[in-house]
Structure 1
């Protein structure tokens, strides 16, 4: 069973708030539906005001429903951060070319030209640097994000049609970084793992910086009653941690947090916990995020990436 088979109607919406166009809306347009969340600053603290998930209709993004909800909630004109889901982009780890900063993107473009499937003139490219200590050899490393121009233009159109003000376009890894910073202590390093139907992604973070990101296939159906595939999941996590420690010269993370489709504490078995040296737990958003009223944990998990998008700080890349 997939996610759409297990999503009760009551979990699709949480909006106990007053109308306001301030703050930031985070949006993720996924293969199963559209998730969005809104944060606002109250008394110097960032609060989660709402999160909702709108299921796709006959395989299509519920654009009209999204536009109506934005209008009903009084979010028209609100600043927006769209988070691209992993299947919409490639994330490539490469050595940083030895060129001036203003020439970096162009140099990277030619370095990865044989690694992308779309023509370069139809591909948008962005970069973000890894911390200086991310390479045992001392070689500066960076991540290159590539996505078809058409994908971004379609995303911009959807946001404009919903009468939101697009300010940022992020990738899942950076949105989850924002979320991890808000709900967990990453000073000793942590791994954040998002699990969805058929796939997973892992981000290794420390001091607010992304050190390593991996995406992998996983035979997980994402349903409420579906168990996690223990052996495959542990193997993927061990591979990532081994690379992080041996190739990047980093100390093991203090914790591994899982989030995603119908991820609950009872799915993390003793076998999973005993196979990994770091403590493994569910990412607890309900006790860490500040919000008004009650919100179901399942909905928070479903909207995790959108919430991370809404937690983006303007000064952070």
Structure 2
């Protein structure tokens, strides 16, 4: 989403995930007939000024030789489901922009907006409108410009997670996926490599890690109830899409999580194993579950197939 400037040099995407304390840099190369290969995965502490941090990393990470994509963290954008609009994409964006002016928490006239079509599958055409406020986008873009780096695209976690899910789908079957990060949980439903449904769960991995055993059990129950409600809603809306199961990203240090979901949900639950779908041999540190957890959003973003333009 949010395509930008001209094409740099290296093939593949270098995604930059943002958390309050660090940047996660992941470069993935996709070639026909081979697993996507991770060529770079580095997590760097953010300094007081992002432009200064990016400038310092430009040569060591060869940032100026890559298609750079920044991943917006939760809370810095909104995703709104709305009816599709006929006509050219630029015109559709503007129509949707003003249609949603009372549904977002920031001025739409200066907001960045893009539209993600949802496969109709017998339903009326709909899109996800992705919007980010100028107060978010302007400083982000300025930090790259100040570092003399070309930012090719900006993406969101829903699409990063879709990219991972697409590698695990079975033919003619949909897939549910749940991944938690430091700020929230994200549950997605995909089919044919496309995002159908995204649901946010307002529980973070940090909450689960710091909770007492009793409190953790309560959080597990909330998560399972949210998932089951979403499964029921998905079945009503997309009854023609059978789900092969739910793939869940592990949370290092949180015990009992997978067993609880397996015992309390109505479908098969499996743990996400990145080594099954991505070649990690060039960056063996990613075999560490903690490093996978830290970089997972950026890994998903870097799997983007759309050519940089």
Q: Normalising by structure 2, report the TM-score.
A: 0.82
Given that 1:21 and 1:74 are in contact with CA atoms closer than 8 Å, whether structure 2 keeps it comes out as: no
Q: What is the DSSP-based 3-state SS (H/G/I as helix, E as strand, rest coil) of the residue aligned with 2:249? A: strand
Equivalent residues in 2 for 1:192-231, closer than 5 Å? 192-197=177-182, 199-218=184-203, 220-221=205-206, 229-231=219-221
Rate the CA distance shift 1:101–1:42 in 2: closer, same or farther, 3 A: closer
Q: What is the DSSP-based 3-state SS (H/G/I as helix, E as strand, rest coil) of the residue aligned with 2:109? A: helix
* Alignment deviations for residues 50-107 of structure 1 (CA, whole Å, 9 cap, x no partner): 21222345xx56553443334113332311111212211010111224x323432222
Q: Does residue 5 of structure 2 align to residue 37 of structure 1? A: no
* Alignment deviations for residues 2-30 of structure 1 (CA, whole Å, 9 cap, x no partner): xxxxxxxxxxxxxxxxxx95542111112
* Alignment deviations for residues 212-240 of structure 1 (CA, whole Å, 9 cap, x no partner): 01112126425767657210110111121
Rate the CA distance shift 1:219–1:151 in 2: closer, same or farther, 3 A: closer
Equivalent residue number for residue 49 of structure 1: 39
What is the aligned residue count? 290
How far apart in 2 are the matches of 1:144 and 1:114? 14
How far apart in 1 are the matches of 2:24 and 2:45? 9
Rate the CA distance shift 1:117–1:238 in 2: closer, same or farther, 3 A: same
How far apart in 1 are the matches of 2:205 and 2:186? 13
Rate the CA distance shift 1:31–1:258 in 2: closer, same or farther, 3 A: farther
Given that 2:74 and 2:183 are in contact with CA atoms closer than 8 Å, whether structure 1 keeps it comes out as: no
Given that 2:250 and 2:272 are in contact with CA atoms closer than 8 Å, whether structure 1 keeps it comes out as: no
* Structure 2 unaligned regions, length at least 5: 1-8
* Alignment deviations for residues 255-275 of structure 1 (CA, whole Å, 9 cap, x no partner): 2122275377x5434332021
Which shows bigger deviation, 243-252 or 88-97?
243-252
- Distance apart, 1:277 and its partner CA: 2.1
- Distance apart, 1:37 and its partner CA: 0.3
- Distance apart, 1:185 and its partner CA: 2.5
- Distance apart, 1:246 and its partner CA: 0.8
Equivalent residue number for residue 3 of structure 2: none
How far apart in 2 are the matches of 1:128 and 1:146? 11
Which shows bigger deviation, 34-43 or 241-250?
34-43
Of 50, 56, 61, 1:68 maps to 56
Equivalent residue number for residue 132 of structure 1: 120
Equivalent residue number for residue 82 of structure 1: 70
Given that 2:180 and 2:186 are in contact with CA atoms closer than 8 Å, whether structure 1 keeps it comes out as: yes
Q: Does residue 88 of structure 2 align to residue 101 of structure 1? A: yes
Q: Does residue 225 of structure 2 align to residue 235 of structure 1? A: yes
Given that 1:127 and 1:145 are in contact with CA atoms closer than 8 Å, whether structure 2 keeps it comes out as: yes
Rate the CA distance shift 1:158–1:279 in 2: closer, same or farther, 3 A: farther
Given that 2:169 and 2:193 are in contact with CA atoms closer than 8 Å, whether structure 1 keeps it comes out as: no
Of 292, 295, 299, 1:300 maps to 292
Given that 2:247 and 2:272 are in contact with CA atoms closer than 8 Å, whether structure 1 keeps it comes out as: yes
Equivalent residues in 2 for 1:141-290, closer than 5 Å? 141-182=126-167, 184-187=168-171, 188-197=173-182, 199-218=184-203, 220-221=205-206, 229-259=219-249, 262=252, 266-290=255-279
How far apart in 1 are the matches of 2:275 and 2:37? 12
How far apart in 1 are the matches of 2:13 and 2:183? 30
Q: CA RMSD in A?
A: 2.8
Q: Normalising by structure 1, report the TM-score.
A: 0.80
Rate the CA distance shift 1:271–1:260 in 2: closer, same or farther, 3 A: closer
Of 95, 98, 123, 2:111 maps to 123
Given that 1:252 and 1:278 are in contact with CA atoms closer than 8 Å, whether structure 2 keeps it comes out as: no
Q: What is the DSSP-based 3-state SS (H/G/I as helix, E as strand, rest coil) of the residue aligned with 2:75? A: helix
Rate the CA distance shift 1:181–1:316 in 2: closer, same or farther, 3 A: farther
**Runs of 4+ more than 4 Å apart:** 41-44, 60-63, 222-228
